Chains A and B, each alone.
Chain A
């Protein structure tokens, strides 16, 4: 090959690199064989508690849901995971059809019109909703954000918006009601952001607020839990303009924080303002049904600085996981999972509410997560739980200090009655 290229040595390929900076040493650990690496990886992974070693009641935006074996069998197919973004539709029909089916099922689940091929996670989907709302409403400089939005989503939103000279209001006061938030929406507001179930697990009745928000020319953005949508009010039904969600509960493991799935859905009227890839159905030259990336004059490779977003790589394989998961569950399975979460969470809440010193508000509707006010600091309680192989709830001390010692407890179909009873027993013993 050297001769064919017309050079004497491989080093000759790099003459453009400044000579004094060429071939720097790399101080890295020595190379390892596969079997040595397997051992080292097992050692490192073995140091982490996880859903196979512990009983987990921790949620706060990421949930330990059941993932049927069939999901990973599909994800392991090289045809999917070793392909690139489907730029060449003739040889990417598998990916394209799967994305189209993802878009279809998410549209059904959310009651929205159009869905894109994914964002990085729930937080970035929400931040992209803000960018879109600013583009749709034009020349507005205010976002109204509910405190019920996950604190990390609000942080991501602020990161994304930091250079844009905007005002973000509504989430500083924990006593603010939905009506108060709606009243903050004015003619400078691009959008109102709400989440249901909210960060603390509560379900909100969002009917009626869209009209009030639209009367000010603003958009309504609703962040949802995809499993919850099998049972509860959809963003579409309450008139949301944009719906975003964290898709992790749909067949994606905990993965120590990622990869997850940013779900983004909107209305037909705004389809040209949506970020990211969208797949459409069409025909080929022979009239065969086929799928392709479409409406691409929104994207960075075509529009450059006028694109709707800079997103390029997304979370394609995670969208496939969600698609396979939703297909396996189907209508009945999704509702069953949601019911299991709901009833087990309520069982756990009722049991814990009876413990001396523990308080749970059972008057407000919630789905799979709820706040437990505790007799002592949550860190101490969780330390005790750990000694029994239980990962307790999320400590709200940082985010909602006004609640006093309080933990956010998540219960899914993975937490059996026996697991819940054990948790309650350990809490009772203190």
Chain B
């Protein structure tokens, strides 16, 4: 059987009376059920399958995915590095995976110690005084940061600040976060070298400035050359600097965000610290900040009791509150802790050196065909443009889809928005030179095809579980749950 064989929806595999789990029998007397509160349909129509059928179904559909474990996955901004298998074992140890978050803290000292140590490590790596592991993902870390900025300003009686500055190159979560926090988003332009445009920044700073959200290295994959000056200007206006740490993989042991002027940042543990992305999540968006902002951090946070050395959870005095239940995506924290302990200082620095070396290698080997967004040494990702000289009617999307035919996951495309036809390539440090050479050769071949046989690109992919999809139909006639009639129509092409 080909791995690309289609697999019917689970609902079409169901037959009445089957069960895929072996459950204990009832060993206590039955109690009367409150009949007026029962569900009337008794769950009729819910799928019923055997364990074999369930395993085959989910194994078969899994083979319709590509992933880091099978292919190169240079998805820019996402840091799709290899996920070490030790981490998976670590997070599944019963003392971690089967511990209840509300059990007495005296019964959880190992878990709390691990969290405490991770707080210390992340603070050290980034140059911050305090860390909270609570946020569940980068976007939630951003939300934490903007709420902390707000609380900080209010605590000083500084009540007129309503505007958050966000570069035009920023990730969508940045403006969405500022808006969710009730603030106005003010866009700041980038200059020709891909840095924040200082004149534009100055014209937009005011007594209304809450702060600035900046990714560094930025979303063009470039280190902000004026970072110290940007921070100085924002601070001079009374604003605070938020660091979007999505690109932290470029600067481990190379620069500390807390030392170049940032007041607060989130770490995407599911990027830099290689907790697996899970096909969408879970992640962890731990945050770090300066001593001045520490009292406002979301909690609980772990501290060590000075008298007896035990670990305990506490809520910072002026905390913005809790952002989620309990204390962070703990399973991800175990993995990140393991990663840091595997590498140590030298290993972490080598991660960034290699990630940056790899991205520059790809950039220099491709930018004659795919112009760089900015012709400069880049950090961990190379942002190129899918504008191949001499090719007609070829878009970045076509290049991305053609890569699939060669067994390579496409880079991030059309982000950042300010780069026309953007191709954001992040090889990460775990890709070998041989694989990068193959990627480069394939990209060069695609550039030739774009000129000579453009239809090959327009029709791509042809070597994938499915061809390009009818996205318009998906949006115009949405089918968002299984329905036998709608699936019959869909199959008939109605």
Contact partner of A30 among B34, B88, B344, CB < 8 A?
A: B344
Answer whether A333 and B21 are a contact pair too, CB < 8 Å, given A1-B433, A18-B228, A52-B98: yes
Question: Which among A168-176, A178-186, A225-233 touches the partner chain?
Answer: A225-233
Question: Which among A35-43, A140-148, A209-217 touches the partner chain?
Answer: A35-43
| Smallest CB gap from A75: residue in B | B278
A345 to B352, CA, bound (A): 53
Instruction: Answer whether residue A118 sits at the interface, using C-beta atoms and an 8 A cutoff.
Output: yes
A257 x B103 contact (CB < 8 A): no
A423 to B493, CA, bound (A): 61
A289 to B487, CA, bound (A): 9
Residues of chain A from 74 to 96 with CB closer than 8 A to chain B in the complex? 74, 76-95
A289 x B321 contact (CB < 8 A): no
B111 x A278 contact (CB < 8 A): no
A312 x B139 contact (CB < 8 A): yes
Contact with A along B395-431 (1 / 0, CB 8 A): 0000011001000011010010000000000000000
Instruction: Answer whether residue A8 sits at the interface, using C-beta atoms and an 8 A cutoff.
Output: no
> Chain B residues with Cβ under 8 A from A95's Cβ?
65, 279-280
Instruction: Answer whether residue A51 sits at the interface, using C-beta atoms and an 8 A cutoff.
Output: yes
Residue of B110, B180, B356 with most partner-chain A CB within 10 A: B180
Contact with B along A320-352 (1 / 0, CB 8 A): 100110111111111111011011101100100
A131 to B78, CA, bound (A): 27
Contact partner of A44 among B28, B111, B332, B346, CB < 8 A?
A: B111
Contact with B along A36-64 (1 / 0, CB 8 A): 01101111111111111110101011101
* Besides A64-B100, A95-B280, A115-B481, 15 other A-B contacts (C-beta < 8 A): A5-B357, A38-B90, A45-B95, A66-B21, A82-B80, A94-B61, A94-B63, A120-B136, A150-B325, A289-B6, A304-B172, A310-B177, A314-B280, A327-B49, A416-B27
Residues of chain A from 263 to 308 with CB closer than 8 A to chain B in the complex? 271, 277-290, 292, 294-295, 299-307
Nearest CB of A to B139, in Å:
4
Nearest CB of A to B383, in Å:
15
Residue of B182, B278, B346 with most partner-chain A CB within 10 A: B278
> Chain B residues with Cβ under 8 A from A258's Cβ?
101, 136, 282, 324-332
Instruction: For the complex, count residues of B whose C-beta is within 8 A of A.
Output: 195
- What are 19 A-B pairs at a CB distance below 8 A? A16-B222, A21-B260, A31-B347, A44-B113, A56-B103, A70-B20, A83-B67, A89-B469, A95-B65, A103-B480, A104-B10, A115-B481, A255-B331, A285-B467, A288-B6, A339-B26, A343-B30, A365-B34, A391-B107
Residue of A50, A114, A122, A315 with most partner-chain B CB within 10 A: A50
> Chain A residues with Cβ under 8 A from B461's Cβ?
90-91
> Chain B residues with Cβ under 8 A from A219's Cβ?
none
> Chain A residues with Cβ under 8 A from B466's Cβ?
89-90, 93, 284, 286, 288, 290
Instruction: Answer whether residue B471 sits at the interface, using C-beta atoms and an 8 A cutoff.
Output: yes
Instruction: Answer whether residue A237 sits at the interface, using C-beta atoms and an 8 A cutoff.
Output: yes
Contact partner of B108 among A18, A232, A256, CB < 8 A?
A: A256
Question: Which among B69-77, B234-242, B445-453 touches the partner chain?
Answer: B69-77
> Chain B residues with Cβ under 8 A from A284's Cβ?
466-470
Nearest CB of A to B107, in Å:
4
| Smallest CB gap from B471: residue in A | A292
Nearest CB of B to A349, in Å:
9
Nearest CB of A to B345, in Å:
4
A92 to B191, CA, bound (A): 36
Contact partner of B338 among A37, A89, A288, A394, CB < 8 A?
A: A37
Nearest CB of B to A340, in Å:
6
Nearest CB of B to A72, in Å:
8
Residue of A153, A288, A290 with most partner-chain B CB within 10 A: A290
B100 x A283 contact (CB < 8 A): no
Answer whether A97 and B64 are a contact pair too, CB < 8 Å, given A16-B223, A300-B172, A334-B46: yes
Closest 9 pairs between A and B when the two form their complex, measured CB to CB: A316-B280, A45-B95, A78-B69, A317-B278, A257-B326, A47-B110, A31-B344, A257-B101, A346-B31
Instruction: Answer whether residue A380 sits at the interface, using C-beta atoms and an 8 A cutoff.
Output: no
A78 to B95, CA, bound (A): 24
Contact partner of A305 among B57, B175, B324, B404, CB < 8 A?
A: B175
Residues of chain A from 149 to 171 with CB closer than 8 A to chain B in the complex? 150, 152-153, 155-156, 158-160, 162-165
Instruction: Answer whether residue B48 sits at the interface, using C-beta atoms and an 8 A cutoff.
Output: yes
A68 x B20 contact (CB < 8 A): yes
Contact partner of B67 among A78, A289, A303, CB < 8 A?
A: A78
| Smallest CB gap from A330: residue in B | B48
A283 to B227, CA, bound (A): 48
Question: Which among B200-208, B251-259, B286-294, B385-393 touches the partner chain?
Answer: B251-259
> Chain B residues with Cβ under 8 A from A420's Cβ?
28
A316 x B468 contact (CB < 8 A): no
B468 x A327 contact (CB < 8 A): no
A256 x B140 contact (CB < 8 A): no
B474 x A282 contact (CB < 8 A): yes
| Smallest CB gap from B101: residue in A | A257
> Chain B residues with Cβ under 8 A from A237's Cβ?
39-40
Contact with B along A405-419 (1 / 0, CB 8 A): 000000001001100
Question: Which among A105-113, A187-195, A353-361 touches the partner chain?
Answer: A105-113
Answer whether A260 and B39 are a contact pair too, CB < 8 Å, given A62-B100, A62-B102: no
Instruction: Answer whether residue B245 sits at the interface, using C-beta atoms and an 8 A cutoff.
Output: no
Answer whether A52 and B479 are a contact pair too, CB < 8 Å, given A121-B136, A254-B100: no
